[in-house]
Amino acid sequence: MNWSILGWGMIGISIILLIIFTFLFKNGRSYLVRKNTQIEGLKISRIKAIEGGLHRTLVLGHKLTSSSYPGLGLNSLAVMTGLLDAETLVDGKFNIATSQSSMVVFARQIVENSYQNGFSKDLTQKGVKAVLPGPTAYSNLVGLLYELDKHPQHGLILSGNFGPEASLLSEVAQAKNGYVFAAAGTIASQSALFSQVEDLMIGEDSFMLPGLLKPSPGRTAAWMTEDILRLLLILMIIVAAVLKMVGVL
């Protein structure tokens, strides 16, 4: 078997499927990628927070990139655009926090672009604040714990690169009758939050979060293509195993 031809064949199939599904979904077709009850919980908590005048904080994690989890910081920044709807931007009680200064700068730029795209230039960007509670993971933790204690019933959204200390944030928020949603991408944070947080996204779902919050035909086409390729690979492995057993391969 020529593995090079097989590899290029899979790439070709991927390109064709992406083109086909992108045109299909642009014409109004839909595809339920996953049934995520966590997303529904997040949307309901947003409505309750805005109507009740409650504070919410999106925590972007501690690192923009790392050798173990290179894409988590960028993914958490991509999550922001799905959360910065018109009501949130003018509500004035939504904060974005991180312990890395570069991510604060990027977050601030994303917020300002959201304002410029949807509002008059006369409006200021005071509705959403990007803050640095502390320059390290644990000083950041202390600053966030103070905010959770100061504003009970806090809505806490965790997305990005965290360690096991994320469990302390969720525990305190829930003790203050707050809501917690987590898409923490590291194994350490997922294992720490698994028994505490009901609306927890793990594995590849963490990386699908930006597209689930703000769907687009391209993202939906990519997910559909990915699912089909998985099925094809599974079938190919099964067929190859059977042929190997009977001595054909």
For 87-118, what is each residue's pLDDT tens digit?
A: 887 777 888 999 888 888 888 888 877 655 55
Average pLDDT, the chain: 85
Contact 127, 89 (CB under 8 A): yes
* C-alpha pair distances (Å), 16 with each of 21, 23, 32, 217, 222: 9, 11, 21, 15, 11
Give the pLDDT confidence score for residue 116 in this predicted structure: 59
Give the pLDDT confidence score for residue 234 in this predicted structure: 93
CA distance 160 to 72: 5
Query: Cα angle vertex 219, ends 216, 220, to 5°?
Result: 85
pLDDT for 145 beyond 80: yes
206 falls in which pLDDT band (50, 70, 90)? confident
Give the pLDDT confidence score for residue 119 in this predicted structure: 52
CB 94: neighbour CB atoms within 10 A? Answer: 25
Contact 125, 115 (CB under 8 A): yes
* Tokens found for residue 136: 């390290």
pLDDT for 58 beyond 90: yes
0.85 cut: is pTM over it? no
CB 139: neighbour CB atoms within 10 A? Answer: 13
Tell me, what DSSP letter sits at residue 18? H
CA distance 80 to 85: 10
Give the pLDDT confidence score for residue 124 in this predicted structure: 52
Give the pLDDT confidence score for residue 93 in this predicted structure: 85
Amino acid at 138: Y
How is the beta sheet containing 199-200 ordered, strand by strand?
Answer: 128-131, 94-97, 56-61, 155-161, 179-184, 199-200
Contact 110, 79 (CB under 8 A): no
Higher pLDDT among residues 109 and 238, named by residue: 238
177-204: average pLDDT:
90
CB 191: neighbour CB atoms within 10 A? Answer: 13
Q: Which fold has domain 35-234?
A: Rossmann fold (3.40.50)
Contact 61, 161 (CB under 8 A): yes
Give the pLDDT confidence score for residue 200 in this predicted structure: 92
238 falls in which pLDDT band (50, 70, 90)? very high
